[in-house]
């Protein structure tokens, strides 16, 4: 595989879900390496179960301690889990555990905003300054809601603890409020004129979280709960706020350092908020994305924006809430990835010519270097197996 294909696949790792019932048990999938549990179940169809099984074999390794995968669509279904729950006990990884889904949160945020658009409570082409009066400096040009959704706002990122793992680990228990982040970002000049470039940044979705609260008069978390989590019965999905723990069953997350693996399971992710603070499970994310691509969350008239990149911006791949990627063979994928230390997540789908889900994928990989710009070596084989 050439480098352009590899980059394209890694950029399109955000895939999602299945239309069939979730498997309640996992059958033995072969003879994994010592210390690894690779269990799977497959329905009828032409999925490459051998490649999927091989993608999970040999865990844990230097790249990941565990992985959970769910594949489905018109070609059948497949469920698999490999690796360990934690490195101390070496117990088998659990398939239905919760994890930090990172920027997959943005899909939930975009869905709520587009619901408000459908209700005529928010206008995509209206300046966000019309809703959040006094928040932006008076000399800033208008920034539309659409420009926040598709990352063409020009707002610069907020300052944080630092870019290195050591810096962030030292501040892992700090709490940060959305308004602190927005104040930091808006103290800087715009990176570019709104609508002329695309730069994927969390701050756009932090502002959208504040927009949701202003328009509805209730908290961002309440709106996601009422509009998405409760109707879809996503009982493993929640916002931890500044709670450092992952409630309920979960596999541990680790970061590789020069001194060995560091357990990063406990972390205050409040800075992520509407851009990256959600905790979920693969089963919940599967149900969510099936409903999303099935038109059951965002009305079709607004959902189309989640499939479109902004016109006239070279190299744009971000839609409203997701990304659109055309692979070298012409395949078009939609979805979202999320990375928190110890956890790499992806949801998304490939649609057929009629707009129906053709094949879907949800994965959670307990990456030992989740923030690597080169992606995780365990994710690429999962995506390749899913597409084969």
Q: How far apart are CA 385 and CA 330, in angstroms?
A: 17
Per the CB < 8 A criterion, the answer to whether 84 and 92 are in contact is yes
Based on the residue annotation, tell me whether 103 is a catalytic residue of this protein: yes
Catalytic choice (4, 24, 49, 103): 103
pTM: 0.90
Backbone region of residue 191 per phi and psi (left: phi > 0; alpha: psi in -120 to 50; beta: other values): alpha
Q: Tell me how many domains the chain contains.
A: 1
pLDDT in tens, 11-64: 444 332 222 222 222 222 233 333 334 455 555 467 889 999 999 999 999 999
Spans in the chain with pLDDT lower than 50: 1-38, 44
Per the CB < 8 A criterion, the answer to whether 36 and 59 are in contact is yes
Look at residue 353 in the predicted model and tell me its pLDDT.
Answer: 84
pLDDT in tens, 202-217: 999 999 999 999 999 9
- Name 314's Cβ contacts closer than 8 Å, sequence gap at least 6: none
Look at residue 22 in the predicted model and tell me its pLDDT.
Answer: 24
Q: How far is CA 195 from the centre of its chain?
A: 24
- List the one residue out of 8, 48, 71, 54 whose CA is nearest residue 378: 54
> Which residues face 361 on adjacent strands?
71, 348
Look at residue 10 in the predicted model and tell me its pLDDT.
Answer: 46
Q: Which long-range contacts (CB under 8 A, 24 or more apart) does 256-264 make?
A: 256/62, 256/368, 256/369, 257/165, 261/65, 261/87, 261/368, 262/169, 263/86, 263/342, 264/169, 264/172, 264/341, 264/342
Range of the structural domain that residue 309 is part of: 3-387
- Bridge-based pairing of strands 323-326 and 332-340 is antiparallel
- List the one residue out of 381, 32, 88, 379 whose CA is nearest residue 260: 88
Q: How far apart are CA 349 and CA 307, in angstroms?
A: 11
| CATH number of the domain bearing residue 42 | 3.40.710.10
Q: Is the peptide bond before 344 cis (omega within 30 degrees of 0)?
A: no
């Amino acid at each position: 595989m050439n480098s352009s294909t590899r980059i394209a696949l890694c950029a399109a790792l955000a895939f999602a879900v299945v239309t069939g019932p979730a498997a309640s048990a996992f059958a033995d999938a072969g003879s994994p390496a010592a210390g690894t549990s690779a269990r799977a179940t497959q329905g009828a169809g032409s999925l490459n179960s051998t490649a999927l099984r091989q993608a999970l074999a040999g865990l844990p390794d230097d790249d990941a301690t565990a992985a959970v995968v769910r594949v489905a669509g018109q070609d059948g279904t497949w469920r698999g889990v490999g690796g360990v729950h934690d490195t101390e006990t070496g117990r088998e990884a659990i398939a239905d555990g919760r994890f930090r889904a990172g920027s997959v949160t943005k899909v939930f945020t975009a869905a709520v905003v587009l619901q408000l658009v459908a209700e005529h409570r928010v206008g995509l082409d209206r300046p966000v300054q019309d809703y959040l009066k006094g928040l932006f400096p008076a000399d800033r040009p208008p920034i539309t809601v659409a420009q926040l959704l598709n990352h063409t706002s020009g707002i610069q990122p907020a300052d944080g603890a630092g870019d290195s793992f050591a810096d962030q680990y030292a501040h892992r228990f700090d709490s940060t409020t959305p308004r602190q982040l927005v104040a930091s970002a808006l103290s800087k000049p715009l990176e570019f004129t709104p609508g002329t470039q695309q730069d994927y940044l969390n701050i756009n979705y932090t502002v959208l979280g504040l927009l949701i609260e202003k328009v509805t008069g209730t908290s961002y978390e309440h709106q996601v709960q009422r509009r998405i989590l409760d109707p879809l019965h996503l009982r493993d999905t929640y916002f931890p706020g500044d709670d450092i723990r992952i409630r309920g069953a979960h596999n541990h997350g680790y970061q590789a350092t020069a001194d060995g693996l560091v357990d990063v399971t406990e972390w205050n992710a409040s800075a992520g908020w509407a851009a990256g603070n959600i905790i979920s499970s693969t089963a919940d994310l599967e149900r969510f994305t099936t409903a999303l691509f099935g038109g059951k969350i965002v009305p079709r008239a607004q959902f189309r924006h989640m499939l479109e990149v902004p016109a006239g911006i070279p190299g744009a791949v971000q839609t409203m809430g997701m990304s659109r990627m055309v692979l070298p063979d012409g395949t078009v994928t939609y979805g979202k990835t999320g990375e928190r230390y110890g956890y790499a997540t992806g949801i998304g789908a490939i649609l057929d010519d009629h707009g129906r889900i053709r094949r879907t994928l949800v994965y959670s990989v307990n990456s030992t270097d989740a923030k690597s710009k080169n992606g995780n070596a365990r994710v690429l084989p999962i995506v390749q197996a899913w597409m084969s």
